Structure 1
Amino acid sequence: MGAGSRWDSGWDDGMEEDSEEKWSKELDGFTPPGVGYGSITEETLERMRKEKLSKAERKRRARETKQAEAREDSAVVCARCHSLRNYGHVKNDRADNLIPDFDFDRFISSRLMKRSAGTPVIVMVVDCADFDGSFPKRAAKSLFRALEGRGNSKLSETPRLVLVGTKVDLLPWEQMGVRLEKWVRGRAKAFGAPKLDAVYLVSVHKDLSVRNLISYVKDLAGPRSNVWVIGAQNAGKSTLINAFAKKQGVKITRLTEAAVPGTTLGILRMTGVLPAKAKMYDTPGLLHPYIMSMRLNTEERKMVEIRKELRPRTFRVKAGQSVHIGGLTRLDLLEASVQTIYVTVWASANISLHLGKTENAEELRDKHVGIRLQPPVAAERATELGQWTERRIDVSGVSWDVNSTDIAVSGLGWYSLGLKGNATVAVHTFDGIDVTQRDAMILHRAKFLERPGFLLPIAIANAIGEETRKKNERLNAQQQSDDDDDDDLSDDESA
């Protein structure tokens, strides 16, 4: 058992008995607070536990954890995993594209139709920051068919479905409360998912609700069931299972984690994560060719990847104006029953934005794509990404105070629209990219409105400034050279 895992087991061992007795005396008959008690959270309990350890003990455990992680990182891995872990990309993109998609119906859905020793548990992992793009729609429909096929079986044998929304720390979740879970259930139902046994919104990075999820899955699985962890490519499955193993104090070869679609290639059985004869399987990510990030290169993918908590950027838009998200998508307000509407962009802060007139939108994109409108990172990349298409959508709202509806571009982000009335918008993006309309996920918008024109990330602004400086230096050098030639010519004529 690794040093990092002994932390959890130590909380239940005799090491803490004196502290527990002290707590019981202080509480004098009252139930000790736990998660959900007043303002008590997992983080609060974790802090309480740390406070009960001496400084020397904390140092010792930290040292042992670091040594265990070093031993884990020294495990032999294939060249592909080594490149993903250390450099965040594969060596050969073309060869990687030849890897076939995972056949969910063949490997998972068909097994659910058969009788098994225990009740199968499906943990469906979805990225909260790209919910529509990462939700495994095809797998959800297959599961629905599988459940219908076992409709006459005993209730205890019917597969149980747990939906896990990962990366919740990337959303302003503290302002969303229980409404987010209700919204998630509604979207899952809209996508055709069977009835959910539970919804967990977690963050491995901030250790939110991971322990509660593990406990629930263990209870569902019992001593003999199979637990299948499924989800779209790069939804966070491997990261979640690594967190499971760490919480359970299990020594496993760390699953490769990278912001690259298709990191996991085959079904991996994780031993020791669940008790007794229960087994957990990590499955390859399901291919979603309709998401934007699948078409981007490594540099562009890093730009659209959401790594920090999303911050709203809100524009007040009139009919005849357009909002660009880089050179990847554009929203035009064609007509509205009101003078203006609010358009809030939820996307990576590394993407440039622009608000301007619709009549100049195509000319502006042609001129600035790959420069001020990034990603893509070069003008020629815009044509490589596909044909530019338009989709018209009718929207409506009943309040100026909150966002009414979202228009999501899979694998990129979404527009939130706030209005009191009706409007028609046009969404432009590449052919085949999934665009969905839904109820607003996040109700609030930015406190301050953005001005018309370009809104550039610091990195893009600095790159443009550096390029402008070099261009001016070249022009000055050329001008100086021309002046010197003119002086030489004048001297020759005087002679």
Structure 2
Amino acid sequence: MTDSIEEQTQEELFCIGCGAKIQTTDKNQLGYTPSSVLKKGLETGQLYCQRCFKLRHYNEISDIQLSDDDFLALLNQIGDSDALIVNVVDIFDFNGSIIPGLHRFVGDNPVILVGNKVDILPTALNPNKMINWIQKEAKEQGLHPIETMLISAKKGNSVDELLALIDRERKGRDVYVVGVTNVGKSTLINRIIKQTNGMQDVITTSQFPGTTLDRIEIPLDDGHALIDTPGIIHAQQMAHYLHDKDLRLIAPQKQVKPKVYQLNAGQTLFLAGLARFDFIQGDRAGFVGYFDNELYIHRTKLENADDFYGKHLGDLLQPPHPEDLADFPELHRYEFSTKQKSDLVFAGLGWITLPADVVVAGYAPKGVSVMIRKALI
């Protein structure tokens, strides 16, 4: 009986967690579901692929097997549509979470820029300063959003306001929710579903990158839809250099607490083995770090820093772990001089607030952004 059900309906069966087409023949391909559980899924209406089932119940992740061409085709499809675009970014990793060239793909469609994870910002940070900075960075990328707002998809902060904004601006059109991996996009979709019709955790969510594997359409009252798209892979995210168990360090789950370091010129801070900060020139001063509360930070002398890193990477300085060292890239150095109180931002990790009139250097894996901005606090 199960085989006949598969034969009759397989063409129209999709995982309700990630949107992948269900198949029962190849466990190494997307959408695989054992035949033994297919019938039960059809009867209950809760049909998940094996990948989503393991992710939901055991917190296990499988590799993504979608190509860059698939993502490119999706972006082109958005550009050909008459739609409202909701672009979700990570406020702790704006430069790593902005979609390269998005402004070329959206065409004339309006964009709402949504900065997620506001709940982990330090209490002293003025949200309006963060919004202004995000808008400035977006414009430098060629993106001109009609509105910018901060939310917490996890906590639900300002999600009602976002829904009201979407309802006002979509004007009878579909809504595409886009973002790179690991920005909390599917968590936001789940929050929207929960707040609009009471269904909870319909779409698979995780701290792991790349959960949504095909577009998922949530019907709206007027016949249009809210469309959740796959998380687009951005190779310059710190997440791609970390083991799954360490992703929490770049995706803080609790409000970040500032850590103050009184430094003399000639001192170095290692941010585990992932990044490095050198105080090169200036008077003794306090430097304030804003990182995940569990990130290991080690202070040492600048003159010994290179040897220390080479000796202790993967040991005292973890992550990365010993088994990941072969694939971990060298750190790239960026030097800055400040004229005013500034933030040195390590994309995906956090930032260090610097005083005026100092010379510093920041290091991160090649391709991961290290940049300076006017201090937000």
Deviation at 1:249, TM superposition (A): 1.4
| Number of the residue aligned with 1:121 | 84
Does the residue aligned with 2:314 lie in a helix, a strand or coil? coil
AA at the equivalent of 2:352 = Y
Residue 79 (1) aligns with residue 50 (2): yes
- 1:98 & 1:177 partners in 2: Cα distance? 38
- Kept in 2: contact 1:293–1:412 (CA 8 A): no
| Number of the residue aligned with 1:321 | 267
**What is the identity percentage for the equivalent residue pairs of Structure 1 and Structure 2?**
29
AA at the equivalent of 1:414 = W
Does the residue aligned with 2:308 lie in a helix, a strand or coil? helix
Residue 407 (1) aligns with residue 344 (2): yes
* 298-307 or 283-292, larger mean C-alpha shift: 298-307
Gaps of 5+ in 1: 1-72, 148-158, 399-403, 444-495
Q: How does 1:74-113 map to 2 (within 5 A)?
A: 75-91=46-62, 96-101=63-68, 103-113=70-80
Deviation at 1:414, TM superposition (A): 2.5
Residue 385 (1) aligns with residue 331 (2): no
Deviation at 1:175, TM superposition (A): 4.1
Residue 342 (1) aligns with residue 279 (2): no
- 2:266 & 2:214 partners in 1: Cα distance? 50
Alignment match of 1:425 (pick from 360, 364, 370): 360
Residue 281 (1) aligns with residue 227 (2): yes
Paired positions, count: 334
- 1:87 & 1:413 partners in 2: Cα distance? 29
- Kept in 2: contact 1:351–1:375 (CA 8 A): no
* Deviations 1:68-114 (CA, angstroms, capped at 9, x unpaired): xxxxx9823111111222233324xxxx1543236454323454346
- Kept in 1: contact 2:92–2:349 (CA 8 A): no
- 1:186 & 1:344 partners in 2: Cα distance? 24
Deviation at 1:138, TM superposition (A): 2.8
AA at the equivalent of 2:52 = C
- Kept in 2: contact 1:351–1:374 (CA 8 A): no
Normalised by the size of structure 1, how large is the TM-score?
A: 0.63
- Kept in 1: contact 2:78–2:105 (CA 8 A): no
AA at the equivalent of 2:215 = I
- 2:368 & 2:234 partners in 1: Cα distance? 10
Gaps of 5+ in 2: 1-43
Alignment match of 2:97 (pick from 134, 137, 142): 134
Deviation at 1:348, TM superposition (A): 1.4
| Number of the residue aligned with 2:311 | 367
AA at the equivalent of 1:420 = A
Relative distance call for 1:281 and 1:317 in structure 2 (3 A) is same
| Number of the residue aligned with 2:298 | 354
Q: How does 1:243-262 map to 2 (within 5 A)?
A: 243-249=191-197, 251=199, 254-262=202-210
Q: Which has the larger radius of gyration?
A: 1
Residue 170 (1) aligns with residue 106 (2): no
Displacement over 6 Å in runs of 4+: none
Relative distance call for 1:430 and 1:225 in structure 2 (3 A) is same
AA at the equivalent of 1:359 = E
- 1:171 & 1:382 partners in 2: Cα distance? 31
- Kept in 2: contact 1:225–1:277 (CA 8 A): no
Relative distance call for 1:140 and 1:238 in structure 2 (3 A) is same
- Kept in 1: contact 2:116–2:150 (CA 8 A): yes
- Kept in 2: contact 1:221–1:278 (CA 8 A): no
- 1:314 & 1:280 partners in 2: Cα distance? 44
CA-atom RMSD, angstroms? 2.4
- 1:207 & 1:253 partners in 2: Cα distance? 14
| Number of the residue aligned with 1:203 | 152
